[in-house]
Amino acid sequence: MTSIVAVSSCLPDTIPISRFQKELQLTDVQLRRYERFYGLSEVCRDPQATEPELLLRAATKLVELRGQEQRVKYVLQARTMPSPLPYPLTSLRPVQAELGLEHAAGFVVSHHACASGLLAVDIAGTLLAADPDPDALALVLAGEKVCTVQTQSIPDVTVMGEGTVAVLVSADPAGGDRMLGYAARTHTRFGDEFIMGAEAAKEFQDLYGPGLCEVIGAALEEAGCGLDDLALVLPHNVNRLSWIGVCKTLGLPLDRVFLDLVPETGHCFCADPFINLQRAGELGRLRPGDRYLMTSVGLGATFAAMVFEH
């Protein structure tokens, strides 16, 4: 059974989104909408850091990895965007080398866009379940560098942050937070473009609520539990307004969705649910035996949800 053993994160210093108004091409009215209605106030960015540096900062905080490096058989990098580096350069190899994980099989998972983080955890669990070594571990890395004007934001939705995470995964059901259910649905009619045209964007907006509700229901069904059994929902941090609509449809109290970091981090690509998991744990929002749900939506469009027992 797939289990999350531990998670660590790196959140760069925050910068007010008003500093990016020109780059984001926001009018004063649009900026106020982001701040007042979307709940986006600041975004975590480090203009000087490279992507490998940001990933390494998260991984070096993972104390459970220290002394266990030889047990790690797989290293997966979950990406929203294709790598900006020319082949054969990657962000992953330097991180593996610094962590002493060059012996592990390393590869990138990207075809679910921002939902690739949940996909990577599921793939890691599948690989570990088939591995002859019962003590084998996998390391999932997520979070990306905002490196172009186009990747700074999703227009009229969110602003992108540079928070990163490292997630240690095991196949031991007693090894940590047990995965109970997972569902992902890809709606291929949107293609795989990060930037949609006006017509596609409108269609995606109409699908967003129903698509997310559908995978949440499917993941809960596989887990054998209902919404009332969830202590917390750990979302993708796109904005607060979208979650108000989803919660209304589901009949889920908004205070059970962990939105604390939306004003501080922005949307950190594939890393959001795991950043929220670490912070919720630090704040005592999860107790042993609690069930919680992670969600993410990737443009393209993939909707995903995953249920765990803490």
- Residues 138, 208: one domain? no
Number of domains in the chain: 2
**Spatial contact of 96 and 60, defined as CB atoms under 8 Å apart:** no
- Residues 162, 33: one domain? yes
- Look up the CATH number of the domain holding residue 25: 3.40.47.10
Distance CA 302, CA 113 (A): 7
- Residues 140, 36: one domain? yes
- Residues 124, 104: one domain? yes
- Residues 215, 268: one domain? yes
**Spatial contact of 58 and 141, defined as CB atoms under 8 Å apart:** yes
- Residues 201, 97: one domain? no
Among 133, 148, 170, which residue terminates a domain?
170
- Residues 11, 134: one domain? yes
- Residues 191, 166: one domain? no
Residue 288: CB atoms within 10 Å? 7
- Residues 16, 159: one domain? yes
pLDDT of 183 reads: 98
Residues 6 or more apart whose CB falls under 8 angstroms from that of 55 comprise 77, 91, 95, 141, 143, 164, 166
Residue 144: CB atoms within 10 Å? 27
- Residues 23, 129: one domain? yes
Domain range holding 212? 177-309
- Residues 81, 192: one domain? no
Nearest alpha carbon to residue 45 among 19, 18, 14, 81:
14
- Residues 19, 75: one domain? yes
Element holding 75 (H helix, E strand): strand 72-78
Among 135, 170, 205, which residue terminates a domain?
170
Among 151, 170, 189, which residue terminates a domain?
170
pLDDT of 196 reads: 61
Residues 6 or more apart whose CB falls under 8 angstroms from that of 199 comprise none
Distance CA 118, CA 107 (A): 15
pLDDT in tens, the chain (310 residues): 899 999 999 999 999 999 999 988 899 999 999 999 999 999 999 999 999 999 999 999 999 999 999 999 999 999 998 887 877 788 899 999 999 999 999 999 998 999 999 999 999 999 999 999 999 999 999 999 998 777 888 888 899 999 999 999 999 988 799 999 999 999 876 665 556 666 767 887 888 999 999 999 999 999 999 999 999 999 999 999 999 999 999 999 999 999 999 999 999 999 999 999 999 999 999 999 999 999 999 987 899 999 999 9
